[in-house]
Amino acid sequence: MRIIQEYLEDLRNSEKKVAQHVLLNPAKVIYQSISELAENAGTSEPTVIRFCRALGFNGYQDLKIQLAQDLVPEIKNIHEDIDPGDDPPTLIRKVFQANINALNSTFGILDPEMVNKAVLTMAKAKRIEFFGLAGPGVIAKDAHNKFFRLGISCAYYNDPQMQNMSASLMDSGSVLFIISHSGSVKDQIEAMEIAKAAGATTIAIVSHRKSPAARMADIPLWVHAQESSFKLEPMSARMAATCVIDVLFVGVALKRREEFTTNIQKTRKALVNKFL
């Protein structure tokens, strides 16, 4: 906050709009995507990036981390609902309730039309590739573990270079499925651009409606969790995204139920000697 005030008079007029919005709404900004901040400040995403760099930050995420350090008690980086003196029963209640709230909120905003579009697209896909980085990468791997059993050729990548190379080999029968809490990770946006240029359909699970990934995706699917994206590993959003994956899996399995039934029998038989 102090550094913004110090540099305020040196900023361009468009950058000052961003600075003034941040100074007036710092607690809201740490929960906003770069697109949301740009819209609320009446500027553009490039202006937000220039503003951040003018202050010496690497980018918007770097700014949000600094804001969080100034505003948010250290313990809230562990979980935003807990307090230092919480006993085990209270920890259980708060963590579970945060996840329940995320699931209920996502249930309320998940668009059935988009879900149906995603199911139909995935059911007829020649190949589906799931991309995620860090925590969302775990969800992407779980999605791959589910969907390959449907008889659809699937892949999972959590390395940005592998993602770009694989995206370049997609075609009109391919589906790129991105999972991202912020929806603003540059590597994933780049992979989406490459896949779309190759003719693939893009699906994205994101927490921010106005994020670059949500805008770029052919089929955006939103989850809702009151977590700031400065946290390295959002918890409740992960639970909500996993639930959306389960919805899609069940929907596609119903569309391909004969093939799925056959494949389940094959995979169970393949594992029969793996258990005591």
Domain assignment of residue 89, yes or no: no
Per-residue pLDDT band at 3 (split at 50, 70, 90): confident
User: Taking the model in full, what pTM does it have?
Assistant: 0.77
In the chain, at which residue ranges do the beta strands (DSSP E only) sit? Answer: 127-131, 153-157, 174-180, 201-206, 219-222
Domain assignment of residue 255, yes or no: yes
Domain assignment of residue 193, yes or no: yes
Domain assignment of residue 82, yes or no: no
Same domain? For 54 and 136 the reply is no
Same domain? For 53 and 102 the reply is no
Same domain? For 31 and 164 the reply is no
Question: Is 80 exceeded by the pLDDT of residue 44?
Answer: yes
Mean pLDDT of the chain: 89
Structure tokens at 149: 């059993």
Same domain? For 48 and 120 the reply is no
Same domain? For 109 and 210 the reply is yes
Domain assignment of residue 145, yes or no: yes
Same domain? For 29 and 155 the reply is no
Q: Under 8 Å CB-to-CB from 163, ≥6 apart: which residues?
A: 131, 157, 187, 188, 191
Domain assignment of residue 79, yes or no: no
pLDDT at 7: 78
- For 241-256, the pLDDT digits (tens) are 999 999 999 999 999 9
pLDDT at 67: 84
Same domain? For 102 and 29 the reply is no
Domain assignment of residue 87, yes or no: no
* Cα distance between residue 71 and residue 244, in whole Å: 32
Same domain? For 115 and 40 the reply is no
- For 204-243, the pLDDT digits (tens) are 999 888 888 999 999 999 998 665 545 555 678 889 999 9
Question: Is 90 exceeded by the pLDDT of residue 167?
Answer: yes
Domain assignment of residue 78, yes or no: no
Which domain, by its residues, includes 247?
97-274
CATH value at residue 166: 3.40.50.10490
> What's the number of domains the chain is made of?
2
pLDDT at 120: 97
Region 42-50: mean pLDDT is 92
Are 130 and 144 spatial neighbours (Cβ–Cβ below 8 Å)? yes
Same domain? For 106 and 188 the reply is yes
Region 254-270: mean pLDDT is 90
pLDDT at 75: 58
Same domain? For 67 and 109 the reply is no
Same domain? For 126 and 159 the reply is yes
Per-residue pLDDT band at 182 (split at 50, 70, 90): confident
